[in-house]
Structure 1
Amino acid sequence: MAETESAVETFLDRADAVFEDYENGYVDPDAALSTLESHVDTLREDLES
């Protein structure tokens, strides 16, 4: 269970960073969505292994 919690925590930290970058105008919506999709894929891989 600790691995799952770690994977989710890492995902949430990365997602928060994307939202913050978007809100500050550092990335456009398409780039933010693409980055979030990548983080979701990574989370899935971590949970499946």
Structure 2
Amino acid sequence: MTDPDTDDPDADSLTDAVETFLSEADTAYEEYERGYTDADAVVRRLEPAIEQLRSATDGE
């Protein structure tokens, strides 16, 4: 596991990917719970963030 306090660009990329995913997930689930969207739309919304997360972890 990498130290988040280093200047490692891969660590920054992973941190950014995790933050993006969590933000998208929070928003998507909130919209789903309020009835603004359906489950399929939630999955479609999260797919790009999941791919970014996968790409960031491929280098680990």
Q: TM-score, normalised by structure 1?
A: 0.71
Determine which structure has greater relative contact order: mean sequence separation of CA pairs < 8 Å that are 6+ residues apart, divided by chain length.
1
Sequence identity (%): 41
Where is the helix percentage greater, Structure 1 or Structure 2? 1
- SS of the residue corresponding to residue 36 of structure 2 reads coil
Contact 2:32 2:42 (8 Å CA) reproduced? yes
Q: Match for residue 18 of structure 2?
A: 8
Q: Distance in 1 between matches of 2:29 and 2:22?
A: 10
The structural deviation recorded for 1:14 is 1.0
Pairing 1:42–2:56 present = no
Q: Distance in 2 between matches of 1:25 and 1:3?
A: 33
Aligned residues: 49
Pairing 1:20–2:54 present = no
Unpaired segments ≥5 residues, structure 2: 1-10
Unpaired segments ≥5 residues, structure 1: none
Runs of 4+ that moved beyond 6 A: none
1:11-40 superposed Cα distances (whole Å, 9 cap, x missing partner): 111111111111111111111111122321
RMSD: 1.8
